[in-house]
Copies of this chain bind each other. A is one copy, B any other.
Amino acid sequence: MLTTVSNEMQPKNPNYRPTMRNVADLAGVGIKTVSRVMNNEPNVSEATRERVLKATRQLNYQLDMAAGSLKRTDRKTMSIGLLLPNVANPFSSEINRAIEDIFNARGIAVFAASLDDDAAREASLITAFLGRRVDGLILTPIAANQAYLIPEHSRDLPMVFIDREPRGIEADAVVTDNAEGARRAAAHLLARGHTRFAYLGDRFDIQTAQQRQNGFFTELEKAGIDTGLVPTFNGVIDEESARQIALGLINSAEPPTAIFSAQNIVTFGVLHALKETGKNHEIALVGFDDFLMADMLEPGVTVIAQHPGEIGRIAAERLLARIDGDEQPSKTYIVPSELIVRGSGEIPPAA
């Protein structure tokens, strides 16, 4: 005989959303027993468990995680926040996928959002995630400084930075060896005998862009090249301006024999310029970032490939370890880039 009154509380509508109380009443057990079953806790007889499970199926009951986490000691929401440059670009979306795979396997859901290189978005998206009490954060820092995150970090909100290291806060980071990758590009071109270079990079206020330029120029200088004379363009933020700049270089009195483009989009612009002018087999090109179809172009495009999937995987594993209580000192993990030889970077300087 059921003694509770809660049956009266069930709306006549059969499509109300049942609570644990409803399940308990239907199964004729206490609410705590339902909780035990739903959370796979021990000390429930097989018969009782079956009875409860049957009631959950009858009512189509689903545990409310948020309500539970409110009272639960660890207060975990089983969700994390992920801030990427842009979920639509291949670099971001590969990271996204790698992270999803790891958290998914642990039953943790991922909120992802795009920053568009906008510091104001960084702030507002982080606020949105914090308000949802995510268990951790993986983010590409864009604001000049991340010191504002210190209070959260001390409150034991784990965070891992990706692609760029944070400033003003000590935390884990996972980044590509940008300087070394660009250095290798320079060495590769120098080995073919090039002496006339051009450098096209994106926003110079972004850490990675600076590192790539430094790496590239350092190697040129080691080879005795006066980098002050190397045509250098920073702030090339879209394909069309990259194309225009490349056209200007190609048509100049002393065109470069080798071009280094420090980023995906920039590479696309340069490729268009080379194709239009028919110089694609005469001027060497190495691009930072691999891209789809790079091997199908004429010539194939030699690139310094990053490994976004690897970055995502490592970041996810670090965050998971932190969530699980890992207290080791924070550290920056460096994911090596890779020179992929396909043709465009092996063109020798014109006689």
Contacts and interface: CB of A to CB of B under 8 A. Distances in A.
Q: How many copies does the complex hold?
A: 2
A338 to B, nearest CB: 19
A90 B291 CA distance: 12
Contacts of A100: 87, 112-114
Interface residues of A, number: 57
A154 B15 contact: yes
A53 to B, nearest CB: 15
A214 interface: no
A96 interface: yes
Interface string A37-52: 0000000000000000
Task: Give the dominant DSSP class at A's interface.
Answer: mixed
Interface in A256-300: 268, 271-272, 275, 291-294, 296-298
A174 to B, nearest CB: 18
A127 B56 CA distance: 14
Interface in A95-124: 96-97, 100, 104, 107, 109-114
B129 A109 contact: yes
Contact of A109 (B67, B93, B128): B128
A97 B107 contact: no
A2 to B, nearest CB: 24
With most chain B CB atoms within 10 A of its CB, the pick from A16, A87, A125, A271 is A87
A92 B112 CA distance: 14
Contact of A113 (B66, B90, B94, B109): B109
A253 interface: no
A66 B128 CA distance: 12
Given A15-B156, A90-B93, 6 more contacts: A79-B111, A87-B96, A88-B93, A90-B90, A100-B114, A271-B296
